[in-house]
Amino acid sequence: MNKGTMMEWMGIEFTEAKEGYLKAVMPVDNRTLQPMGLLHGGATIALAETLGSFGSALLVDLEKNDVVGQQMTANHLRSVCEGVVYGEAEIIHRGKTTHLWNIDVKDEKGRLISTCRLTVVIKNKKS
């Protein structure tokens, strides 16, 4: 599903997926760094939204519904300048029209880099 998308370009790869839970890895390199050489907050948020949105897509009937991110909050707690980061998403609310995800992004040593909350809206597909 990532072929030809921003996720492919950024090097995001899913490593685990089960109902209500996903993990992915993303490189910290020229594609994801900001000018000061640190992991860009926007790249971190892109990883988090990818995990939550994809997680919601796995929970609904995509022939009848679309899933779209509605709101994201992120707290960036630590910087990273090389290696990879790991995103781990868990659903914390699974309603009929909204899902709420908690996504933690950690470095290679398991230290928390960012913690995010994503609200995903479940919309009926237009005919």
Summary mean pLDDT of the chain: 96
* Rounded-to-integer distance, Cα 70 and Cα 65, Å: 15
Note whether residue 47 is domain-resident.
yes
The closest alpha carbon to 40, from 27, 23, 54, belongs to: 27
Helices and strands in the chain: count of H runs, count of E runs: 2, 6
- When divided into structural domains, the chain yields a total of 1
- pLDDT tens, 2-53? 788 889 999 999 999 999 999 999 999 999 999 999 999 999 999 999 999 9
Domain of residue 14, residue span = 6-124
- pLDDT tens, 70-114? 999 999 999 999 999 999 999 999 999 999 999 999 999 999 999
Q: Which of 49, 88, 90, 108 is catalytic?
A: 49
49 flagged as catalytic: yes
CATH number reported for the structural domain that contains residue 13 in this entry: 3.10.129.10
Note whether residue 75 is domain-resident.
yes
The pLDDT assigned to 3 comes to 83
Reply yes or no on whether the pLDDT at 127 is more than 70. Answer: no
